[in-house]
Chain A
Amino acid sequence: MSKQYIPWVNAENAHISDIYSLAVTDKQLLSVSGGSAIKVHSLTDTGFPLVQCIDDAHSNGCHHIVTDAAGSRAVSAGFDGSLKTWSCHDGHWVADEKVTADLKHASAWAIALSCDGQYLAGVTEQGRIKVWDLAADGNLIRDHDTKGSFGVTIDLSSDGRMIATGHQNGRIYVFSTETGRMPYSLQGLVEPVRAVAFSPGSKLLAAAGDSKVISLYNCSSGNRIAYLAGHTGWITSLSWSSTGEYLLSGSFDGKIKVWSMETKTCVATIPEIEKVVWSAKWLPKIGRAEGFVLGGANCSIDFYREASA
C-alpha cells in the first residue's frame, strides 16, 4: 500500500552551502552545512521558524551534528577536524567549553551520541572506532582498529549496547559497547557504505551506500534478512521512524524513498528534489501528521508530511 507525502514547509536558502547533517530533537531541528553556522529551527511552532543561529561555530564548515535523546546536548564535527559540544538551556544552545576542551585532542570523521548524552562514539579517517566518556573528562574508553578503511558513517543503538560503522571499502563493523569486542563483521558490500542506522528497538541494522541497495541485518545473528532495491543513485542517508515501521532513505540524485518494514517494499518516492540530499530525518510526531525533513545541496531545509487521507 503506497503512502503520499507532500511538501509542508520549505526553509529556502537556510544555509549558504550544502547542508550535510540534520539532528532532530523533540522540539528542535539542528542543521549544519559547508558554511560556518549551526542553525536551530523550532519544531513546536507553526512554520518551523528559525529560532537560533550560532555563527562561526565551525569556520571551515561542519559535516556532522548529533544530539542526545532529551535534546540537551549536541556535538558537532567540523571539516578542520574539530569536535565541539553544545548544551541547551530552555531551548537556547550555548557552547559547552568544558567538554569541548576535553575533546580537544579527540578526532573523528563521523560521530554518534548515546541517548543519555554521556558517550560519544566516532569513526576516524583511518577507520578507527573510538568512544569517549563525556562525563569523565572526555576520557577515551574504547579504541578499536579496523582494516584501516575510511570511516564514512557510524550509529549507536538506542539501548547503547552496539556501535555500527560503515566504511569506504564496503565493510560494516558492529561492536558491543559492553565487552569492547566485535561480535561480527557483517557480510558487507563491495562499494562504500554511506549510512548505517539501528532500528529503534535495536533489533535491526540498516546499511546502504553506493550499491544503491539497502541491506537489513538481524543484529543478534548478523544475518542479512532483506534487500531493499529501488534507488537509482548512491544512498547517502537512512532514518528509522520512531515506531520502527518505516525507513526513510535519501540519495545522491535527490530521490527520497519511504520503505515499509512490514512488507519490505517502497511505499513512497519523493522525486522533485534534484540535487543531492545529504541528510534525511523523520520528525517527531507533531499533532497527527507524520513527516520528515531533508537537507542537501540545494541549501534549503525541506519539510514533508503525510497527506491526510
Chain B
Amino acid sequence: MTEPSIIPLEMDDGRDPAVREYIDNTLAALLDGLTSHPPEPLSITLKRRVRQTPHIINPISRALEAIPRSETHKTYCWPGKTAHEAWKFAAILQILAILDQAIRMGQLISKRDIYYIDPEFFRAQNIVDRIVDDLAYTIGVNRTALNVEAAAKGLVMGDFRLIRGPDILIDMQGAIEDTLIPRVENGDEIDIARARWVLVIEKEAVFHRLARISFHTRALAGEGILVTGKGYPDFMTRRFLRAISDSVSSQSRTLPRFYALTDGDPHGMAIMSTYKYGSAAHLHQNAQLSIPRLQWLGLRVSDVIAVPEVLGDKALLTLTIRDRRKIVTMLQNSPVWASDGPEPEWRAELQRMLVLNLKAEIEILYECHGGLEGWINRKMFRQE
C-alpha cells in the first residue's frame, strides 16, 4: 500500500467564512463576558442532532435526510450548576481553541489528535467526537471545514487522476498498488480515464483479493476501479466516490456503473444503504455524499441457495438473535426499507433472511465456479 502523493495539501482555510465567523464571535463573546463589570455569566450553546431522529428520503437529492426541526439546543455555562457542566464547558472551549489554531496554521487535525492533546482532560475519544460533530452541526458545515478529518480508512485501486484547478494532485494511471483514498475538496475533479465501472466493496480482505489479481484491468466488463471503505464507510471514502460520480456527470462521458458488493447480512445491507443514501448519524451531510446510482451486485442469500451443488448448503450461516433484531429495526425505522420506499428488492431480501434465518458472507464465493472474479463477471453482465 502506498501513500498518495498529495502532501502538501491546499487548505480549506478561509473558504468557508462561517467557520471563522463562528469561532471569532464565540471567543469574542466569552472575552467580553469575562472583562465586563460586573462579569457576565459565560455560556456556549450547541445545536445537536436528536438521536433517533425521524428521517426521510429527500426526493430531490435521493439521500437520507432529517425531517426539519429534529434538533435540540444545549447551553453549557461557566461555572455552571455542576462540576460536570463546568468541565463540559471547558472541554468545548478547549476544542474550539485547538480548531482555531489548526485553521490559522492551515493544519489538518484528526479527532484522535485532539483527544491525545489531553486525554486525561477529555476522558474519552467519543466525547471529543461528539463535541466536534456538534460544533460542525452548530455552524452548519462539514467536519472537514473545521480542518478535522478522520484518519484515512478507505482504499482504492485503479486508474484515476485527482485534479484541482490547473494541477494534477494525484496520478494513479498505471499504478500497480492500491492506495489510501485521498482527501477530496470542493471543486476537485476526478478523471477516471477508461473506467467503465466502480466496484464498492464492504470488506478489506475481499478488496485485496481482487486487487491482487488486478481485477480492475481484467474484468470482462472492461476496466474499472475498486474501492473499499472497510466496513461502514468513512466520510472521505464517501466523498471520493461522490466526486467520481459528479465528475463523470460533468464530463458527459459514458457513465460508469457503480456496484456494491457486501455480505448478505443486515450489516452488509446497512453498509450498502450508507453508500447509496447516507447514514442516519450524519443526516446533514448525506445530500453531498450519497450515490443514488449505486446498484446492488450482491451478495443475496438466494444467490447462494440457487447453486447449492457448487457452494454447498453449509456455506450459509444462521442469523443470530442480534442479527434478527437489527433487521427488524432496519425495517421499522429506515425509510430506505419502508414498504413504499425506494428499494423493494432490499426490503424483500431482509424479509427473506428472516424467513430463512440465514445469512451469507462474500467469502463463500471464493469456492464457486470461476471463483469470486468469475461470479462478479457473470453478475456484472447480467445487470447491464
Give A residues with C-beta under 8 Å from B: 16-18, 20, 34-36, 59-61, 63, 79-81, 125-126, 150, 152, 168, 191-192, 210, 234, 252, 276, 278
Q: Choose among A36, A80, A152 the residue that contacts B357 (Cβ–Cβ < 8 A).
A: A152
Q: Is there an interface contact between B313 and A60, defined as CB atoms closer than 8 Å?
A: no
Q: Is there an interface contact between A79 and B313, defined as CB atoms closer than 8 Å?
A: no
Known: A63-B354, A79-B328, A278-B355. 19 other contacts (CB 8 A): A16-B344, A17-B348, A18-B348, A18-B352, A20-B355, A34-B348, A34-B351, A35-B339, A36-B339, A60-B328, A60-B332, A125-B321, A150-B319, A168-B357, A191-B313, A192-B357, A234-B305, A234-B313, A276-B302
Closest approach, in angstroms, between the C-beta of B151 and any C-beta of chain A? 38
Q: Is there an interface contact between A210 and B313, defined as CB atoms closer than 8 Å?
A: yes
Q: Choose among B318, B344, B351 the residue that contacts A150 (Cβ–Cβ < 8 A).
A: B318
In the complex, chain A residues whose CB is within 8 Å of the CB of B319: 150
A278 to B352, CA, bound (A): 10
A59 to B347, CA, bound (A): 12
Flag whether B248 is at the interface (Cβ < 8 A).
Answer: no
In the complex, chain B residues whose CB is within 8 Å of the CB of A17: 339, 344, 347-348, 351
In the complex, chain A residues whose CB is within 8 Å of the CB of B77: none
Flag whether B287 is at the interface (Cβ < 8 A).
Answer: no
Chain A CB count within 10 A is highest, among B313, B321, B348, for: B348
Within 8 A of A (CB), among B318-354: 318-319, 321, 324, 328, 331-332, 339, 344, 347-348, 351-352, 354
Q: Choose among A79, A150, A152, A252 the residue that contacts B305 (Cβ–Cβ < 8 A).
A: A252
Closest approach, in angstroms, between the C-beta of B263 and any C-beta of chain A? 20
A80 to B329, CA, bound (A): 8
A192 to B313, CA, bound (A): 11
Q: How many residues of B contact A (CB 8 A)?
A: 19
The answer to whether A60 and B305 touch (CB under 8 A), given A125-B321, A150-B318, A278-B355, is no
Q: Is there an interface contact between A16 and B339, defined as CB atoms closer than 8 Å?
A: yes
Q: Is there an interface contact between A80 and B331, defined as CB atoms closer than 8 Å?
A: yes
Q: Choose among A80, A191, A210 the residue that contacts B332 (Cβ–Cβ < 8 A).
A: A80
A293 to B339, CA, bound (A): 25
Give B residues with C-beta under 8 Å from A: 302, 305, 313, 318-319, 321, 324, 328, 331-332, 339, 344, 347-348, 351-352, 354-355, 357
Q: Is there an interface contact between B331 and A79, defined as CB atoms closer than 8 Å?
A: yes
In the complex, chain A residues whose CB is within 8 Å of the CB of B302: 276
The answer to whether A61 and B318 touch (CB under 8 A), given A34-B347, A150-B357, is no
A152 to B354, CA, bound (A): 10
Closest approach, in angstroms, between the C-beta of B152 and any C-beta of chain A? 38
Offer 14 A-B interface pairs, CB within 8 angstroms, sorted by A: A16-B339, A16-B344, A17-B339, A17-B348, A34-B347, A34-B351, A59-B339, A60-B328, A60-B339, A80-B331, A192-B357, A210-B313, A252-B305, A278-B355
In the complex, chain A residues whose CB is within 8 Å of the CB of B328: 60, 79-81
In the complex, chain B residues whose CB is within 8 Å of the CB of A278: 355
A252 to B351, CA, bound (A): 15
In the complex, chain A residues whose CB is within 8 Å of the CB of B321: 125-126
Q: Choose among B318, B344, B354, B357 the residue that contacts A79 (Cβ–Cβ < 8 A).
A: B354
The residue of chain A having its C-beta at the shortest distance from the C-beta of B313 within the complex is: A210
The residue of chain B having its C-beta at the shortest distance from the C-beta of A21 within the complex is: B355
Closest approach, in angstroms, between the C-beta of A56 and any C-beta of chain B? 9
A167 to B351, CA, bound (A): 18
In the complex, chain A residues whose CB is within 8 Å of the CB of B324: 125
Closest approach, in angstroms, between the C-beta of B338 and any C-beta of chain A? 8
Q: Choose among B313, B318, B352 the residue that contacts A168 (Cβ–Cβ < 8 A).
A: B318
Q: Is there an interface contact between B351 and A61, defined as CB atoms closer than 8 Å?
A: yes
Q: Is there an interface contact between B331 and A61, defined as CB atoms closer than 8 Å?
A: yes
Chain B CB count within 10 A is highest, among A60, A125, A168, A210, for: A60
Closest approach, in angstroms, between the C-beta of A155 and any C-beta of chain B? 17
Closest approach, in angstroms, between the C-beta of B301 and any C-beta of chain A? 11
A252 to B328, CA, bound (A): 23
In the complex, chain B residues whose CB is within 8 Å of the CB of A276: 302
A18 to B321, CA, bound (A): 23
The residue of chain A having its C-beta at the shortest distance from the C-beta of B347 within the complex is: A34
Closest approach, in angstroms, between the C-beta of A113 and any C-beta of chain B? 20
The residue of chain A having its C-beta at the shortest distance from the C-beta of B358 within the complex is: A192
A18 to B344, CA, bound (A): 11
In the complex, chain A residues whose CB is within 8 Å of the CB of B305: 234, 252
A125 to B344, CA, bound (A): 25
In the complex, chain B residues whose CB is within 8 Å of the CB of A125: 321, 324
In the complex, chain A residues whose CB is within 8 Å of the CB of B318: 150, 168
In the complex, chain B residues whose CB is within 8 Å of the CB of A150: 318-319, 357
Q: Choose among B331, B344, B355 the residue that contacts A60 (Cβ–Cβ < 8 A).
A: B331
The residue of chain B having its C-beta at the shortest distance from the C-beta of A59 within the complex is: B339
In the complex, chain B residues whose CB is within 8 Å of the CB of A35: 339
The residue of chain A having its C-beta at the shortest distance from the C-beta of B339 within the complex is: A36
A234 to B352, CA, bound (A): 14
Closest approach, in angstroms, between the C-beta of A230 and any C-beta of chain B? 16
Q: Is there an interface contact between A63 and B355, defined as CB atoms closer than 8 Å?
A: yes
Closest approach, in angstroms, between the C-beta of B334 and any C-beta of chain A? 11
In the complex, chain B residues whose CB is within 8 Å of the CB of A126: 321
In the complex, chain B residues whose CB is within 8 Å of the CB of A152: 357
A126 to B302, CA, bound (A): 24
A35 to B348, CA, bound (A): 9
Q: Choose among B313, B348, B351 the residue that contacts A63 (Cβ–Cβ < 8 A).
A: B351
A168 to B321, CA, bound (A): 13
In the complex, chain B residues whose CB is within 8 Å of the CB of A16: 339, 344
> Which 8 pairs between the two chains have the least Cβ-Cβ distance?
A60-B331, A34-B351, A36-B339, A150-B357, A17-B348, A34-B348, A61-B351, A168-B357
A18 to B319, CA, bound (A): 20
In the complex, chain B residues whose CB is within 8 Å of the CB of A20: 351, 355
Closest approach, in angstroms, between the C-beta of A301 and any C-beta of chain B? 17
